[in-house]
């Protein structure tokens, strides 16, 4: 893409997959070309292995309320009714018009399988986007924006070297303190790039006070929108000044609206998600302070190297460098304990650790514990129940003879706990069962503007989000205020990795 921004320019991912001969659709603008290439690139991501094997069971022939109508035969009034539903609960206005319909046709008809993969990837990234949008008090509907930026592919790279979910260019990333060097590229870090995108969206809205104009500026830069307003004689409606903008910015807002529609009504077009092998709720982070190669991790704990690259896209040289601060390693949840157990093998150095098998043999112990029952509610999942009741997924599986993680609303789950959550007067939340760690003292941290418990944890080696929440009586990790003083546990023998 040609750089149009006077301040900052974000661009659509272009993965250049030439074997798709019908890649140019609608108009041949840079946005349309790059958007199609971005969607097609998802077919090459190697994190849909399970779903690809099961794809024969994913139905695209199921009849919906559109019956057997071809897309071209669906009446406009049906779309208009659905858009009214969306607008009732959104501060961003979603207009329906022929341009928006053409993008819906692209997603629902011409790139149906690709959009199924976008639906699946939304399980990884939408909870994360919502967390940061809520933190900045921004409309949650902005979570749809990376769909047209990168098709939710964190590895996406455009022809002009815009990178990541939000497609930052190099000069833009420096304005938001995203570190880019030969071994790390924080434009591809889902959390840090989302924080930067939220800051930029907040800034753009403060200028234009209209979300459609802010979105146009997100694509073309604020200068493009200011010039269009001036050339139109001062009009501030996107559709009224649209023709004064470059073609790619003209297309950007209709594409965003269509993407939002499809995320809400994909099932009405017989599109079902193709899920990736991992989702947001079944991943966890380990904080590291030493150099380690992703291939070492892959070999020891049996996680495909492509999965590690996808979950940790910021490490572009395939290793985690020592940067003088804790670095994040994202892993599938079930691989965190194996990583800790085999950390000596991965590093090739001696670290004193508790015997894993002994700890595991005691993991589902009911000694000195009280039996309790929990009724499963809609939306519950095993990790959530284990977290809320201070036990592990493995505990619940063994206590209830569960063969898999499937739960049904109304199902009774047995769990065992110490009275008042204590064992011999010591909080079970502060017991380190995986490593030989001794607690020395507490330090204090004053919450600064923009900080979350997650970002605070990164500053203190050896502690976790859950520990800080329990120690300070915090029930909701978002419920901290600027100036609040938090107690932070400090360890004599800090572990080489922190689980949270």
Which run of H or E residues covers position 113? helix 112-135
Name the maximum alpha-carbon separation found in the chain.
Answer: 77
Q: At what angle do helices 190-208 and 211-220 cross, to 10 degrees?
A: 120
CA angle 123, 96, 134 (to 5 degrees): 40
- 228 close to 162: Cβ distance less than 8 angstroms: no
Determine the pLDDT at residue 442: 64
pLDDT(150) > 90? yes
pLDDT(238) > 90? yes
pLDDT(341) > 90? no
- Which residue matches tokens 């592919």? 153
Highest mean pLDDT among 22-31, 345-354, 408-417: 408-417
Determine the pLDDT at residue 30: 63
| Mean pLDDT calculated for residue range 448-471 | 75
Judge if 30-269 and 434-495 fold alike in CATH terms. Answer: no
In tens, the pLDDT along 17-42 reads: 223 223 223 344 667 777 887 888 88
Determine the pLDDT at residue 365: 72
pLDDT(169) > 70? yes
Determine the pLDDT at residue 191: 93
- What value does the mean pLDDT of the chain take? 78
Give the domain ranges of the chain: 30-269, 280-351, 357-431, 434-495
pLDDT(65) > 90? no
In tens, the pLDDT along 70-98 reads: 888 899 999 999 999 999 999 999 999 99
pLDDT(99) > 70? yes
Determine the pLDDT at residue 361: 58
Q: Which residue has the higher pLDDT, 375 or 34?
A: 375
* Residue 261: partners with Cβ closer than 8 Å, 6 or more residues away: 79, 82, 83, 86, 94, 100, 104
pLDDT(440) > 50? no
Determine the pLDDT at residue 360: 54
* Residue 238: partners with Cβ closer than 8 Å, 6 or more residues away: 210, 212, 213, 216, 253
pLDDT(185) > 70? yes
CA distance 188 to 167: 9
Both tokens of 332, joined, read: 């599938």
Least-confidence region, from 172-181, 247-256, 427-436, 481-490: 427-436
Determine the pLDDT at residue 29: 60
CA distance 225 to 5: 10
Coil/strand/helix, residue 300 = helix
Cα four-point dihedral sign 169, 105, 201, 452: negative
Both tokens of 470, joined, read: 């329990």
Q: Which residue has the higher pLDDT, 388 or 250?
A: 250
- 72 close to 104: Cβ distance less than 8 angstroms: no
- 327 close to 287: Cβ distance less than 8 angstroms: yes
> Which DSSP string corresponds to 63-96?
--TTTT--GGGS-HHHHHHHHHHHHHT-SS----
Determine the pLDDT at residue 213: 97
The dotted CATH code for 30-269 is: 1.10.530.10
In tens, the pLDDT along 299-335 reads: 889 899 989 999 999 998 888 988 888 899 999 988 9
pLDDT(410) > 70? yes
Q: Which residues pair with 488 in a beta bridge?
A: 443
- 216 close to 201: Cβ distance less than 8 angstroms: no
* Residue 169: partners with Cβ closer than 8 Å, 6 or more residues away: 3, 8, 9, 10, 11, 160, 161, 162, 163
Determine the pLDDT at residue 51: 57
pLDDT(483) > 90? no
Both tokens of 452, joined, read: 């979350």
Coil/strand/helix, residue 236 = coil
Determine the pLDDT at residue 452: 82
CA distance 209 to 214: 8
> Which DSSP string corresponds to 370-408?
EEEEEE--TT--HHHHHHHTT--HHHHHHHHT-SSS---
As annotated, the active-site residues are 149
CA distance 248 to 64: 34
Q: Which residues pair with 327 in a beta bridge?
A: 288
Determine the pLDDT at residue 45: 80
* pTM recorded for the entire structure: 0.63
CA distance 142 to 54: 31
Least-confidence region, from 41-55, 129-143, 204-218, 253-267: 41-55
CA distance 465 to 280: 16
Determine the pLDDT at residue 94: 97
Domain spanning 434-495, CATH architecture: Roll (3.10)
Both tokens of 355, joined, read: 């015997």
Contacts for 53-61: CB closer than 8 Å, 24+ residues apart: 55/274, 58/116, 58/272, 58/274, 59/270, 59/272, 60/112, 60/270, 60/271, 60/272, 61/270
List, in sequence order, the alpha helices (H) in 302-355. 305-311, 336-341, 343-347
In tens, the pLDDT along 188-208 reads: 999 999 999 999 999 999 999
% of the chain at pLDDT higher than 70? 78
% of the chain at pLDDT higher than 90? 36
Q: Which residue has the higher pLDDT, 3 or 149?
A: 149
* Residue 413: partners with Cβ closer than 8 Å, 6 or more residues away: 373, 374, 375, 376, 385, 396, 400, 407
Determine the pLDDT at residue 239: 97
Looking at domain 357-431, does it have CATH number 3.10.350.10? yes
Determine the pLDDT at residue 16: 32
């Amino acid at each position: 893409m040609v750089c149009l921004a006077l301040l900052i320019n974000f661009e659509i991912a272009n993965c250049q997959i030439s074997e798709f001969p019908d890649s140019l659709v609608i108009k041949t603008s840079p946005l349309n070309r790059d958007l199609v290439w971005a969607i097609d690139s998802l077919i090459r991501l190697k994190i849909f292995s399970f779903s690809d094997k099961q794809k024969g069971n994913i139905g695209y022939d199921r009849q919906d309320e559109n019956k057997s109508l071809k897309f071209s035969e669906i009446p406009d009034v049906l779309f208009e009714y659905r858009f009214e539903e969306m607008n009732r609960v959104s501060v961003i206005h979603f207009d329906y018009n022929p341009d928006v319909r053409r993008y819906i046709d692209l997603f629902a008809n011409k790139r149906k399988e690709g959009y199924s993969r976008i639906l699946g990837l939304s399980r990884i990234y939408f909870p994360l986007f919502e967390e940061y949008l809520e933190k900045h008090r921004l409309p949650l509907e902005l979570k749809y924006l990376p769909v047209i930026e990168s098709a939710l592919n964190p590895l996406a790279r455009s022809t002009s070297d815009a990178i990541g979910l939000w497609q930052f260019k190099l000069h833009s990333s420096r304005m938001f303190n995203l570190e880019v060097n030969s071994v790390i590229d924080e434009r591809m870090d889902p959390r840090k790039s989302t924080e930067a995108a939220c800051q930029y969206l907040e800034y753009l809205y403060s200028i234009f006070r209209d979300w459609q104009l802010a979105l146009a500026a997100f694509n073309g830069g604020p200068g493009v929108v200011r010039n269009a307003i001036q050339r139109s004689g001062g009009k501030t409606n996107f559709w009224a000044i649209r023709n004064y903008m470059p073609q790619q910015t003209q297309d950007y807002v209709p594409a965003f609206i269509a993407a939002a529609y499809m995320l809400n009504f994909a099932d009405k077009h017989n599109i079902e998600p193709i899920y990736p092998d991992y989702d947001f709720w079944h991943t966890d982070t380990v904080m590291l302070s030493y150099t380690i190669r992703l291939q070492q991790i892959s070999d020891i704990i049996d996680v495909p190297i492509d999965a590690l690259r996808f979950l940790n896209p910021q490490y572009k040289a395939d290793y985690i460098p020592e940067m003088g601060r804790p670095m994040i390693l994202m892993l599938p949840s079930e691989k965190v304990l194996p990583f800790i157990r085999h950390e000596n093998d991965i590093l090739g150095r001696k670290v004193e650790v508790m015997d894993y098998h002994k700890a595991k043999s005691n993991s589902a112990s009911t000694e000195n514990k009280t039996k309790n029952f929990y009724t499963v509610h809609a939306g519950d999942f095993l990790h959530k129940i284990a977290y809320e009741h201070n036990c592990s997924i493995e505990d619940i599986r063994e206590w209830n003879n569960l063969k898999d993680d499937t739960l049904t609303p109304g199902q009774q789950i047995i769990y065992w706990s110490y009275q008042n959550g204590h064992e011999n007067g010591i909080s079970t939340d502060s017991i380190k069962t995986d490593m030989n760690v001794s607690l020395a003292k507490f330090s204090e941290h004053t919450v600064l503007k923009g900080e979350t418990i997650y970002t605070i944890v990164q500053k203190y080696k050896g502690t976790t989000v859950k520990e800080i929440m329990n120690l300070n009586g915090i029930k909701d990790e978002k419920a901290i205020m600027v100036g609040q003083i938090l107690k932070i546990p400090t360890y004599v023998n800090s572990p080489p990795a922190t689980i949270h």
